[in-house]
Every structure is written in structure tokens, then in C-alpha cells.
Structure 1
Amino acid sequence: MSYPNDQAPQGYPVAYVQAPVYIQAQPKGLSVASMVLGLVSIFFGWTFLVPLLGLILGIVGIKKEPAGKGMAVTGIILNGLMIAGWLLLIVFLFTVGIWGAAASVNSGNA
């Protein structure tokens, strides 16, 4: 049965369909930046500042952006590993330098 103007006759229930509610995307900029800097620091690990900045952004990202927690944790892990690698390299070079200096002094006395 067809009704004029697509209206139901009086007395009949009319079904209303609610428009979908779109959830606003939560910001994830700090978390993404931390993860990207972690990945960049793997390939360009010659700098100490990039992993340090990525680590700071990851920590702030976890606190301020719960939607990007996974990316922030990934960034913290990658940047933390790169900083640990730098610290191990510095300790290694310092140790080798001390041994080299000690060997040089001992060989000069003989």
C-alpha cells in the first residue's frame, strides 16, 4: 500500500532510525612521534638527541594519550634500547681508553 508524500496514516507507529554516532578520534601525535623517532634512531643511531627526544615524547604520550599507548610503549622501548646502546658504547670506549693509557704508562717504565 502506498501513502502520499511517504507519510504513514494517523495512528500507526513510525520507526525512527537514529543516525550513527561517530566517536571522535583521540589524539595520538606524541605517541606516533615517539615511535617514529625510535625507528629513525635505529637507522640513524649516530645521534644521541633523537632517541632522547623520542623517549621523552613516549613518556608524555603515555600520560596524555591513552589511545596511543601501544605506540608510545614501542617508542619508549626502541628509544630506551638506543640510549642503552650509546651508554654501553661510552663505557666501552672509556674502559678501552683507561686500559690503553695504563698499558702506555707501564710500557714506558720498562
Structure 2
Amino acid sequence: MTTAFDTTAQAPQYAARPAETNGFSIASLVLGLVSILAGFTFFLPVAGVVLGILALRREPASRTMAIWGIVLNSIMLAGAVIGALFMLVVGAAFLPFAFLGLDGIPLGDALPFVGTQLSLF
């Protein structure tokens, strides 16, 4: 007795799933950590927030890293803005005293005495 087997039948072929990338979320998280270590910068946190938002939309598997990247970069961006505003306020507060000499005489008023000998008696 012979059995007929179909030797041409193959196992079903499935399309390979594209590998999920999480480059945006990793980049956002790394930029957040670097901006903490590199001091108060402005451009690194902005790029990190943008990459984190893109990662939330494009990479659902790496949502946690994207959220942490957004949080770290937002905190550092807020710190940079607050620091810049503080420096502007301090600079504006000391601006009236910028043109005084060390002895309290305005610099323009001290010019007639340059090169002359002053005697007290």
C-alpha cells in the first residue's frame, strides 16, 4: 500500500515583523542626562523634548524612556529659562551702578582731574 504525500506543500510563510526601534526615546533620555551633567544649556533640553514627543508617537514600546526623557529635559529647560531670567534681573538691577568708579564718583566727572596734581593744603 502506498500513501500519497504532497511533498510540494510547505509550512506557511509569515512576514517578518520589523524590528522595533527605540532610538528617539533613548536619545531623549540620554540628552536629559547629559543636560543635567553639562549644566544649564538651552539647546540640549529643547532637542530632548522634541525627540521625546516624537518617541511617544512613533515608539509605543519604549514609552517609559520617552516620558523620563521629556521630564528630565523639561526640568532642565525650565532651570535654564529661570537662570536666564535671574541673570537679566540682576543685570538690570546693577545697570545704574555700571558707570561709577571705585570711589563712587561717576567716570565722566573724574576726567577733568586726570593728569593734575591735587593738593590739600
TM-score, structure 2 length as denominator?
0.62
Cα contact 2:28–2:51 (8 A) shared by 1:
yes
Task: Supply the distance in 2 between the matched residues of 1:59 and 1:32 (Cα, whole angstroms).
Answer: 12
Which structure has more helix as a fraction of its residues? 1
Does residue 1:67 correspond to 2:61, yes or no?
A: yes
Who is 2:42 aligned against? 48
TM-score, structure 1 length as denominator?
0.68
Structure 1 gaps, min length 5: 1-22
By how many angstroms is 1:53 displaced? Answer: 0.9
Cα deviation code 1:44-101 (max 9, x no counterpart): 1253211111111001100111111110000001011111011001100000011112
Who is 1:99 aligned against? 93
**RMSD of the TM alignment (CA)?**
2.3
Task: Supply the distance in 2 between the matched residues of 1:40 and 1:25 (Cα, whole angstroms).
Answer: 27
Number of aligned positions between the proteins: 86
Who is 1:82 aligned against? 76
Structure 2 gaps, min length 5: 1-16, 107-121
Which residue identity lines up with residue 20 of structure 2 in the other structure?
Q
Identity percentage of aligned residues: 41
